[in-house]
Amino acid sequence: MAATTLKDSFPLLTLLGIAFLASVCLSSRSDQDNPFVFESNRFQTLFENENGHIRLLQKFDQHSKLLENLQNYRLLEYKSKPHTIFLPQQTDADFILVVLSGKAILTVLLPNDRNSFSLERGDTIKLPAGTIGYLVNRDDEEDLRVLDLVIPVNRPGEPQSFLLSGNQNQPSILSGFSKNILEASFNTDYKEIEKVLLEEHGKEKYHRRGLKDRRQRGQEENVIVKISRKQIEELNKNAKSSSKKSTSSESEPFNLRSREPIYSNKFGKFFEITPKRNPQLQDLNIFVNYVEINEGSLLLPHYNSRAIVIVTVNEGKGDFELVGQRNENQQGLREEYDEEKEQGEEEIRKQVQNYKAKLSPGDVLVIPAGYPVAIKASSNLNLVGFGINAENNQRYFLAGEEDNVISQIHKPVKELAFPGSAQEVDTLLENQKQSHFANAQPQERERGSQEIKDHLYSILGSF
């Protein structure tokens, strides 16, 4: 009886190595085996017109309960055509903004000042909650693409934006006040205030056309609008560029590639700005990284000790493998074997689970702390990652020459832990001369390059 009571209240699924209820919420067929991958169709369009769009990724904790620690983080993607501006607004959320491609001018307003920054690919800046800003695509040809990590301050995972200027979908915040408050605030007649600040652009057209035309309406909505070359130049006048020398300013943008990569060889490059390196990232405790894996190369198996990393595929294709654990629901395993062992004596087999995914631009991956991961590039692959809980994060590699934690194990323990002898383990580990990044098809490639070399020598030899 007591055993039954206990079983009801105490999960039997607790497992060897400490338990994990993999109660995964799956909501689509395409990635149903992988709670850690969001295909690009998991972004929802918040706004779209001929000048650009804003898209917000599904809530992490709605995708899978395994991601509940990310419930206060959202991922936002912004895209705009050349010579356009995203009009002034503020959001009740901290933003970390990364320019994925294109060229921008970002203006940030302060109560008694303003700062403009000239941004390009890899430039990153924190916009504190409530910042009023506007963003211009200053390029003549290239689209501007921006990725934002969004951390709301009012309600977990529910950011809300306030527009200074209104449109049909969302009026100006000023229009929310009553007439007498507005008249007293601006010391002006309401009619004048309405005419100068509030009247919605295209309001008449909208009413004339009616609801059925709503898919065309976007073109008149003034969230992302055209801006002339000349106007752009005016905004660009005092714009500062991201500091190339230092990444330590409190409020200025920094470029993810302005420092030496932390890992680099002919197969790839790994750039990372941590809270220690940049004070802007300290209060949010987030790192931002920028990874380039060359075609046919592999980011070697490794794990992050503390950080949960949200990775976005910026460019290229590849394969992602994440190793987690899953309980084995083998029948009979959860039955009792012995009447005397009533409590806490169940052992359940745990399965190692390979969470695989094919990667395309726009896909988003979550790499939980401690989960080993490897990424292979089938074409030049560029990834941008936000690491939550970044402080004191350590990256442990499981293969490669440097930073390989397996090679640090004492000889007698290698002997006891692995089927091979310590000598065999060491010999095996030494086969990989590369660190961090390596050739993804070593046999073929090495053979290939050897053939070329042989051929070259034979040619040289013939002289």
Q: Considering only CA atoms, which of 231, 234, 253, 235 is closest in space to residue 244?
A: 253
As a whole number of angstroms, the distance between CA 454 and CA 380 comes to 28
Q: Taking CB under 8 A as the rule, which mask of x and - marks residues 207-226 in contact with its own copies?
A: ----x--xx--x---xx-x-
Q: Which of residues 327-386 bind its own copies (CB under 8 A)?
A: 330, 332-333, 337-338, 343-354, 356, 368-372, 374, 376
Q: Do 403 and 395 meet the contact criterion of CB atoms below 8 Å apart?
A: yes
Q: Which is nearer to its own copies, 244 or 392 (CB)?
A: 392
Q: Which of residues 179-208 bind its own copies (CB under 8 A)?
A: 180-181, 183-188, 192-193, 195-201
Q: Which of residues 244-263 bind its own copies (CB under 8 A)?
A: none
Q: Do 225 and 165 meet the contact criterion of CB atoms below 8 Å apart?
A: no
Q: Which is nearer to its own copies, 63 or 121 (CB)?
A: 63
Q: How far is the CB of 366 from its own copies (least distance, A)?
A: 10
Q: How far is the CB of 397 from its own copies (least distance, A)?
A: 7
Q: Taking CB under 8 A as the rule, which mask of x and - marks residues 21-60 in contact with its own copies?
A: x---x-xxx-----------xxxxxxxx------xx-x--
| Window contacting its own copies (CB under 8 A); options: 96-104, 357-365, 379-387, 438-446 | 438-446
Residue from 8, 141, 260, 339 that binds its own copies (CB under 8 A)? 8
As a whole number of angstroms, the distance between CA 419 and CA 305 comes to 26
Q: How far is the CB of 463 from its own copies (least distance, A)?
A: 33
| Residues in contact with 385: Cβ distance below 8 Å, sequence separation at least 6, in sequence order | 287, 288, 289, 290, 291, 309, 310, 311, 312
Q: How far is the CB of 295 from its own copies (least distance, A)?
A: 14
Q: How far is the CB of 378 from its own copies (least distance, A)?
A: 12
| Window contacting its own copies (CB under 8 A); options: 138-146, 326-334, 378-386, 450-458 | 326-334
Q: Considering only CA atoms, which of 391, 317, 321 is closest in space to residue 354?
A: 321
Question: Quick one: 286 exposed, middle or buried, by C-beta within 10 A (0-12, 13-18, 19+)?
Answer: buried
CA distances from residue 354 to 15, 296, 407, 435, 441 in whole angstroms, order as listed: 18, 21, 24, 23, 20
Q: How far is the CB of 71 from its own copies (least distance, A)?
A: 11
Residue from 158, 336, 451, 454 that binds its own copies (CB under 8 A)? 158
> How big is the site for its own copies, counted in residues (CB under 8 A)?
190
> 3-class SS at 237?
coil
Place of tokens 């689209």: 143
Q: How far is the CB of 28 from its own copies (least distance, A)?
A: 6
| Window contacting its own copies (CB under 8 A); options: 20-28, 118-126, 241-249, 450-458 | 20-28
Pairing of strands 113-120, 240-241: parallel
What values do phi and psi take at 34, rounded to 5?
-135, 95
Q: Which is nearer to its own copies, 2 or 459 (CB)?
A: 2
> 3-class SS at 36?
coil
Q: Which is nearer to its own copies, 100 or 375 (CB)?
A: 375
> 3-class SS at 32?
coil
Q: How far is the CB of 311 from its own copies (least distance, A)?
A: 16
Q: Do 415 and 321 meet the contact criterion of CB atoms below 8 Å apart?
A: no
Q: Taking CB under 8 A as the rule, which mask of x and - marks residues 286-325 in contact with its own copies?
A: ------------x-xx-xxxx-x------------x-xxx
As a whole number of angstroms, the distance between CA 131 and CA 161 comes to 11
Q: How far is the CB of 458 from its own copies (least distance, A)?
A: 25
Signed CA dihedral, 301, 306, 310, 315: sign only: negative
Q: State yes or no: residue 114 binds its own copies (CB under 8 A).
A: yes
Q: How far is the CB of 461 from its own copies (least distance, A)?
A: 28
Residue from 132, 143, 265, 380 that binds its own copies (CB under 8 A)? 132
DSSP state, 197? I
Question: What is the four-CA torsion angle of 67, 73, 78, 84, rounded to 10 degrees?
Answer: 170
Residue from 24, 128, 142, 259 that binds its own copies (CB under 8 A)? 128
Q: How far is the CB of 296 from its own copies (least distance, A)?
A: 10
Tokens matching residue 451: 């053939």
The residue count for the chain: 463
Residue from 139, 259, 282, 409 that binds its own copies (CB under 8 A)? 409
Q: Which is nearer to its own copies, 122 or 324 (CB)?
A: 324
Q: Which is nearer to its own copies, 121 or 147 (CB)?
A: 147
| Window contacting its own copies (CB under 8 A); options: 138-146, 149-157, 269-277, 454-462 | 149-157
Q: Which is nearer to its own copies, 90 or 294 (CB)?
A: 90
Residue 125: strand pairing partners: 97
Question: Quick one: 223 exposed, middle or buried, by C-beta within 10 A (0-12, 13-18, 19+)?
Answer: buried
Q: Do 160 and 194 meet the contact criterion of CB atoms below 8 Å apart?
A: no
Instruction: Sort residue 131 into left (φ over 0), alpha (ψ -120 to 50) or beta.
Output: beta
Q: Do 46 and 56 meet the contact criterion of CB atoms below 8 Å apart?
A: yes
Q: How far is the CB of 51 from its own copies (least distance, A)?
A: 12
